[in-house]
Structure 1
Amino acid sequence: MKKLFLLVAAMFAAVSFSACSDDDDNKIDPNQIAGTWQITREVGYEIVPGEGKMEKDITYPIDDVNDDYGFYFTYTFNENGTGRYKSYYYYDNNRLDSNWSIEYTISNNQLLMYEEPEEGNPTSVYNIKELTKSKLVLLYKVDDSDGYKAEITTTFKKI
């Protein structure tokens, strides 16, 4: 009986001193998103019906002019929920390729981007995995009814 008591006491002590995670540890400060962010890396996969699974592990910018990913892009987020998407050809003196306005909202560690705001539905929904003054990590996860699936983690640096 004495050994059982010591065993229960030891287990109680172990449980008592274990740390519980603080829910605030996972909270991000949405105000830190204001500024311009340049893509640096994409890791994950896409499954496109009829094409199969495509693994991604891309570091940007890539310096191979024959590569399909011969570009990089930026998002600029303004404090008022508006912003811009821009893509550039890095091998052509960073020549601007695409440029359009976006709107965005942040709620519950999710970034909702509206590239066609007049339609009212978010174009993309990202889980914000990390947001600091200099680094933004987004997780894009989708599994739609047409068979398209993706799970892509995209990392950005503030410029």
Structure 2
Amino acid sequence: MKRTTLSVLSLSAVLLAAGFAVGQTTPKIGVGAAAPAQQKFALVATIKGAQAVREFQNNVQVLQNQRQALVDLEAAMNKEKDAKKKAKMKSDFDAQLAKLNENNALMAKTYGFSLTRNYTMEIETANIYIQVSDEEAAKIEQAVKAEQAKAKK
């Protein structure tokens, strides 16, 4: 079984409004340092089908991109000297923050997923395809049918 970890940065409206946590740090383990306690995870969603998984991954990417855009906008806003431009940026920031919070709430409702938490995605099956000629496809199809007929007996 292959485990793929989705690295998701912590985020909350309070942190966004007050200032961003740009990333998480992992404590380094040195000689004599105690090993960190094993993390516990609870199942929050099962996503069935390749299309649904792609949609979930796309939605996570959208949230992460929205979050990064807010980080960038806040940095630009903090550097801006012109009060009018800064006010416009603040207005844009507030609108984008509201949209991010709305999308994050939708993800929480749909998948039990929130940018404020860390997740592990476990891939239990994978379909691997190769490009084949018509002749190869016919041979494979015949072999599959033969195998199915054999299994029925």
- Give the TM-score normalised by structure 1: 0.26
* Larger strand proportion of the pair: 1
Query: Relative contact order: is structure 1 or structure 2 higher (C-alpha 8 Å, sep ≥ 6)?
Result: 2
- Structure richer in helix, relative to its length: 2
Instruction: Work out which of the two has the higher radius of gyration on C-alpha atoms and give 1 or 2.
Output: 2
